[in-house]
Structure 1
Amino acid sequence: MSHRTIGAVVIVVPVHNEEVLLAACLDSIETAISNVDIPCEVRVVLDACSDGSADIAARYAFEAMGIAANAVGVARSRGVASALSMFSRMPSDQIWIANTDADSTVPANWLTAQLDLAASGTDVVVGTVRPDFNDLDPNHQDLWLRTHFAGAPNGHVHGANLGVRASTYLAARGFSGSTEHEDVRLVESCRQVNATVTPSDAAEVVTSGRFTGRTPGGYAGYLREQSRAVHDALPYLPRVEDHC
């Protein structure tokens, strides 16, 4: 599939001690890349890793960067800057930045879906994310299915499935160097520069369903909050603390 409005893609994956899940993530990115016919530059940003994540990243033809920031916002920012430098002669409005997380797997149409939206004029794609149901007990899986509906993306921002045109990213001054919510802040900044923001579930990303994540909040925090809110209404459900 050709995408004339976008000439290159930057893909950034921040990693902090994800030796168990990283290979599946990178495998899925390889598949997504195979479905586009434009250059893709991947950065695997190993941030303060003390496990075997670096060894796993070394198996792939992606550039891995080692940093010691212990901050996902810094990891994303440095990865984007490094990858964008490879396309310095290309207009920034023709470069697409696709973001995901190391504990996530992207679908085969992840890039093509975002590029289709970019071709229609979208500057930011806020993609949906769902937890890996293998990580949830039946009650929490049922809760998820009762509160999320196909074809009705809720617009929640998740760094595990976030695409942005490079010109918009730069105008919004990029990711903040924070330990969490850098994705939400970026989208807020994009709105402030009048970017076209499109929620989409056309290429839903599957991410870890753990309740204790690598950042204080993040997606694990989102799952905890959802579980606690429903427990207040349905006290027969097990408390989230039982799953941490």
Structure 2
Amino acid sequence: MRAIRHVLIAVPAHDEAELLPRCIASIGAARQPAQRAGMSVDVVIVLDDCTDDSAAQVKSSRVEGLRVEHIRANSVGAARAHGIRRGLAASMAPPEATWIACTDADSEVPPNWIISQVALANRGADLVIGTVRPDPTDLSAEQIVAWQATRNLDHPNGHVHGANLGMRAQSYLAAGGFGRDRVHEDVNLVARIRALPAITVVASAEADVLTSGRRDARAPDGYARYLHRDLLRETREPVL
């Protein structure tokens, strides 16, 4: 298995002017140690049917080398797929030496996010399923307690989140990439990658991603629905 020498980060955004600057700044910070380790890192921001100031926020960012794409699909799956397709087309690195790292515009990645995923890849991982934690400022005290009660913070839970997901480009392409799903595009892709022969999947809690816990979700039936509808129900209902 070839060592990773190029990383492609794709970020879908739909009306994320408020949170997008935080996301971009965190990616910029995570890119620095990866570049010092000799990797090239490309970042593609896909603005999908945005009607707010998301484009201006990207333009005013102090992070250099961002590629911006505009589409009107109103689909997080289509936005991720578009960004990855454009990024791979612009790269000279072969798919077997390229790592695709995915996060969301309402999320903040830690400084070790890229190097953690790549280290796992270089030890044999084809797919890395990372963990996320909701922004506590978006939750009530009861929700915070409930979330903590359902999570072992020392171990990965293996839940699939597009906000913290990574894969070798060769595996991504073999699985057909992201579909045009408006929700669960991450879960569906992971299922297809898992079905490929000789695939190594690693669940990791080495680099938690902070993600929004807001109520006004951009994707239907996504993480916001879980936090604000299913989480308390999960902890309140008795186990039979």
TM bin, normalised by shorter chain, reads over 0.9
Structure 1 position 196, deviation (Å): 1.0
* Alignment pair present for 1:43 and 2:44: yes
- Please say which of residues 116-125 and 188-197 is displaced more in the overlay: 188-197
Q: Deviations over 1:172-204 (max 9, x none)?
A: 000011101000001000011032111101000
CA distance in 2, matches of 1:158, 1:211: 17
1:32 corresponds in structure 2 to 30
Of 210, 224, 231, the match for 1:220: 224
Of 58, 70, 73, the match for 1:69: 73
2:53 corresponds in structure 1 to 52
Q: Deviations over 1:42-80 (max 9, x none)?
A: 110000100111100112331111100000000000000
* Alignment pair present for 1:149 and 2:152: yes
3-state SS of 2:81 partner: helix
Amino acid aligned to 1:227: L
Q: Deviations over 1:125-156 (max 9, x none)?
A: 00000100111111110111111112221100
Query: What TM-score comes out, normalization by structure 1 length?
Result: 0.91
Q: Deviations over 1:73-124 (max 9, x none)?
A: 000000000001122x422110000000000000000001001100100000
1:168 corresponds in structure 2 to 171
3-state SS of 1:63 partner: strand
* Alignment pair present for 1:210 and 2:221: no
Structure 1 position 233, deviation (Å): 4.5
Amino acid aligned to 1:25: C
Amino acid aligned to 2:47: L
Of 184, 187, 192, the match for 2:195: 192
The 8 Å contact of residues 128 and 205 in structure 1, kept in 2 or not, is answered as: yes
1:14 corresponds in structure 2 to 12
The 8 Å contact of residues 34 and 114 in structure 2, kept in 1 or not, is answered as: yes
Amino acid aligned to 2:46: V
The 8 Å contact of residues 97 and 168 in structure 2, kept in 1 or not, is answered as: yes
The 8 Å contact of residues 126 and 157 in structure 1, kept in 2 or not, is answered as: yes
3-state SS of 1:24 partner: helix
CA distance in 2, matches of 1:205, 1:100: 8
1:130 corresponds in structure 2 to 133
The 8 Å contact of residues 49 and 72 in structure 2, kept in 1 or not, is answered as: yes
Number of positions where the alignment pairs a residue of Structure 1 with one of Structure 2: 230
Of 213, 217, 230, the match for 2:235: 230
Amino acid aligned to 1:49: C
3-state SS of 1:178 partner: coil
CA distance in 1, matches of 2:224, 2:233: 12
TM-align CA RMSD: 1.4
Misfit runs of 4+, over 4 Å: none
The 8 Å contact of residues 212 and 221 in structure 1, kept in 2 or not, is answered as: no
1:23 corresponds in structure 2 to 21
Q: Which runs of 5+ in 2 are unaligned?
A: none
2:143 corresponds in structure 1 to 140
CA distance in 1, matches of 2:236, 2:58: 39
